[in-house]
Structure 1
Amino acid sequence: MELRTQVKAESPRTLEQPGKMYVKGKYLFVNEIKKGIHIIDNGNPANPKFVTFINIPGNGDIAVRDNVLYADSFSDLVSIDITDPAAPKEVGRVKNVFKTGLFDGGGWSLNESVGSITDQNVEWVTETVTVNCEDNVPPMTWWGGIWMLADRVSFNSSSSASPQSSGGTSGQAGSMARFALDRNFLYAVSQSDLHLFKIDKPAQPADFATVNLGWGIETIFPYDNKLFIGSSTGMFIYDNTNPAEPKQLSNFQHGRACDPVVVHENIAYVTLRTGTACGGGQNQLDLVDVSNPAAPQLIKSYQMESPHGLSIDFPTLFLCEGEHGLKVFDVTDKFSVDRNQLAHFKDMHAYDVISLGKTLMLIGEDGFYQYDSSNPKDLKMLSKIPVGKAI
């Protein structure tokens, strides 16, 4: 099919509608919603340089193991050799694996030709349903066995540095990631399922297993041989001691709201927000005791404005507030987080954040920012890649 021939390297281009970001070594990978991935040389955070753009139709998520980049392309999973970041090339593909539920984390527009890669005959049937809470999304359309967005998705999501397990050198994703790497497996959550891909041969991922999770699944965060999976109604915790066979331990439930998760030691930090397809009336940060992962317990909830993504560099918590900017908290005292706000930076749109020690990466509707975060109370901008401007 024509779309399957379009994964290719192209000249660098400007950011237009940036989505998720992923970091590995000196390289930054930024998703251009439903179009592909920017590869950026970030060896000097004060002067990042576009290297190339990988055209990947329908792309929304990214993960990198060694020199192989994994990405979704509509209903397919593709593997791309990035040994030479200036000349990436497709080396593997698993076709028609994301068959049920929206996967991409981006969207399709009514003003553009809507497409999906499948080997099936299709017919159009329109139906309104409740959809992914990861983004502010409109009603969807059922098309040939795949839920497709019926309008442009709003930029509304988040990220946070997530630890990676052994089994090759992986990068760092964030709290809104739908991809996670652990040992010889790539995990991908769709709206309803956890897909396991075996990557012992990194360039040739193999569809290994599928675990049904229900509906409204949004994010996945691997931590300490566990998978913390955010959904529109709660947080699932899976034992991942055997990466080939995740076992559900518990489901921490809350009212209907968007739900990215990050974890440090025995505490999960969960943001809930309204104003999306999730519904509900909650704009808050929840701290959840996960010392017994089979029986998580709410520690305390803190009211926020419009919480999106978050990143924990203990004791500092960075929390995105969308159009309200970025808040920084000292969470040493888990019962007094609201009284220990270190800073509130309002001159940015904060969608996705990754903390890398003394460097903070943040992405929003207006572009990509990097800060020296040596002093969390006083972030110093190192560089900015604005939307619509080349570097």
Structure 2
Amino acid sequence: MKTQSENLRKTKEWKRLILYGTLFMILLTLLGSCQENCDKPTYMHYEPIYAPLSEVRVTADFVGPQVLQSPGKLYYKDNHLFISEINKGIHVINNSIPSRPEKVGFIDLPGNKDLAAKGDFLYADNYMDLVILDISDKKNIKEVNRLEDVFNEYYYLNAETGEVLIDYNIEEREYDVECGEEIIMFETLDFSPINGGGSSGGTGVGGSMARFTIMDNYLYTINDWQMKLFDIHTLDSPIPGNEIQLGWGIETIFPYQDKLFLGARTGMHIYDNSNPELPTHVSTYSHVNACDPVVVSGDLAYVTLRSGTECETFSNQLDVIDISDIHQPELLVTHEMENPHGLGINGDCLFIAEGEYGLKLFNSSNPMTIGDQMIKHHKGVHAFDVIPLDNILFMVGEDGFYQYEYDCNDKLKLLSSIPF
């Protein structure tokens, strides 16, 4: 006959088994749920876009004003603004009266991203070609010459079909694997077409995001890894010049005195341009991977680093670099920013386009305290790039083109805007 103590012991064992069994079933349920909802690794899928060569290589056509929808690079020359409409062409705006800008027309030029001008001629890309446009009559702009296949690095021509690879649709996809299954990850190469500022002697002025610029009698263009030169002594008949290998991740080019400053994902490269037909590397200031435009004034270079998927970083900052010794650029100070894109400087006025966080004006007279010297902050705009002149600022963003009157005290007055 079982004793009361034995019955009590067996009852406790059964309860323990039931408890363990219940916990085990709960664990299985949770694991199953985790399997269904776990985060699978992703990759970027590139779907090629092709177009017939007859639709790619087309003569530029000057048509009536168009609606600005997807702005790219900004360029100023002879009281006129040239704003690229990404992959479509260039808007031409008469800005003789900044408070009343007037749309003049549109240069219909598929595949355009970049531009620069000197004298009466504008240089622009048409996919793989360099197109030369006569802009002496701003109301009747004409294509006068073109160099074919000088930018063909990204534009593959299928000889059998006659079609050109012009772009990619990019989509993030999940790997088709079970949760927890190990896979071999490969780095995805970005084959996006090239994107594309300048000053001095008869040229116009570009922004900090420029990939075309002109110094003296040479046009300098960059892609992700190289610089291509064109001799423009005869303005309407450029001659291809030297090609200079730069490394990977080159994004922007900024001319200053006899130097070229290149913004790259990994740093700022400085090239001596005292021999304009063959720039030579002087030094590099390295930083973490980030989108990186640069502007220069005196002995200081200003570099913004921006976060984002395409920028491969979480840094949002302004680096001020001492370039008094051009061979040894040295970081002076880093100022925290929100999401800086393009920037521009004129005197002590430093402008930073902060993307969705708007436009900011800083006093840069003391580079160590720039972050504490914000003069004005124009919110409610999505700022991409800027060009500051004597007292007028041009700004382009996702939602429009804006002009401001400014000084380095407390003025940032909106003069006009063209909404997109």
- TM-score per shorter chain, which class? 0.7 to 0.9
Using a 3 Å threshold, how does the CA distance of structure 1 residues 4 and 298 change in structure 2: closer, same or farther?
same
1:328-374 CA-to-partner distances (Å, cap 9, x unmatched) read: 11111111111211122112111111111111111111110011114
Comparing both chains, which one has the higher relative contact order based on Cα–Cα distances under 8 Å and sequence gaps of 6 or more?
1
In 2, Cα distance between equivalents of 1:32 and 1:127: 18
Decide which of 7, 27, 30 is 2:83's aligned counterpart: 30
- Aligned counterpart, 2:67: 14
1:100-124 CA-to-partner distances (Å, cap 9, x unmatched) read: 35xxxxxxxxxxxxxx585855698
- Aligned counterpart, 1:82: 135
Letter in 2 for 1:270: V
Decide which of 46, 53, 62 is 2:106's aligned counterpart: 53
In 1, Cα distance between equivalents of 2:136 and 2:309: 39
Using a 3 Å threshold, how does the CA distance of structure 1 residues 13 and 239 change in structure 2: closer, same or farther?
same
Distance apart, 1:127 and its partner CA: 11
Mapping of 1:268-279 within 5 angstroms?
268-279=301-312
1:93-149 CA-to-partner distances (Å, cap 9, x unmatched) read: 111111335xxxxxxxxxxxxxx58585569899999xxxxxxxxx777xxxxx346
| Structure 1 residue 288 corresponds to structure 2 residue 321 | yes
Using a 3 Å threshold, how does the CA distance of structure 1 residues 5 and 126 change in structure 2: closer, same or farther?
closer
| Structure 1 residue 4 corresponds to structure 2 residue 37 | no
Using a 3 Å threshold, how does the CA distance of structure 1 residues 286 and 79 change in structure 2: closer, same or farther?
same
- Provide structure 1 residue ranges, at least 5 long, that are not aligned to the other structure: 102-115, 130-138, 142-146
Higher helix share: 2
> Secondary structure at the residue paired with 1:336?
helix
- Aligned counterpart, 1:177: 210
Distance apart, 1:163 and its partner CA: 5.8
In 2, Cα distance between equivalents of 1:57 and 1:123: 13
Using a 3 Å threshold, how does the CA distance of structure 1 residues 315 and 95 change in structure 2: closer, same or farther?
same
- Aligned counterpart, 1:205: 238
Distance apart, 1:25 and its partner CA: 1.7
- Aligned counterpart, 1:113: none
- Max Rg structure: 2
Decide which of 192, 199, 211 is 1:164's aligned counterpart: 199
In 1, Cα distance between equivalents of 2:170 and 2:416: 42
> Secondary structure at the residue paired with 2:57?
helix
Contact 1:96-1:117 at 8 Å conserved across structures = no
Using a 3 Å threshold, how does the CA distance of structure 1 residues 9 and 40 change in structure 2: closer, same or farther?
same
Letter in 2 for 1:165: S
Distance apart, 1:276 and its partner CA: 3.4
In 1, Cα distance between equivalents of 2:305 and 2:100: 35
- Aligned counterpart, 2:337: 304
- Aligned counterpart, 2:25: none
Decide which of 90, 105, 119 is 1:66's aligned counterpart: 119
- Aligned counterpart, 2:97: 44
Bigger mean CA offset, 83-92 vs 238-247: 83-92
Bigger mean CA offset, 323-332 vs 120-129: 120-129
Using a 3 Å threshold, how does the CA distance of structure 1 residues 19 and 126 change in structure 2: closer, same or farther?
closer
Contact 2:344-2:386 at 8 Å conserved across structures = yes
In 1, Cα distance between equivalents of 2:92 and 2:327: 40
- Aligned counterpart, 1:195: 228
In 1, Cα distance between equivalents of 2:137 and 2:148: 25
Letter in 1 for 2:327: A
Contact 2:168-2:192 at 8 Å conserved across structures = no
1:364-391 CA-to-partner distances (Å, cap 9, x unmatched) read: 111100111146523111111011xxxx
Identity %: 43
Question: What's the RMSD between the two structures over aligned residues?
Answer: 2.4
| Aligned residue pairs, count | 348
Letter in 2 for 1:55: D
TM (normalized to structure 2)? 0.78
TM (normalized to structure 1)? 0.84
In 2, Cα distance between equivalents of 1:216 and 1:343: 33
Decide which of 215, 232, 235 is 2:265's aligned counterpart: 232
In 1, Cα distance between equivalents of 2:134 and 2:143: 6
Contact 2:348-2:408 at 8 Å conserved across structures = no
- Provide structure 2 residue ranges, at least 5 long, that are not aligned to the other structure: 1-52, 172-187
Letter in 1 for 2:232: I
> Secondary structure at the residue paired with 2:372?
helix
Mapping of 1:237-386 within 5 angstroms?
237-374=270-407, 377-386=410-419
1:13-58 CA-to-partner distances (Å, cap 9, x unmatched) read: 1101111110002110000010000111111111111111001110
Letter in 1 for 2:57: R
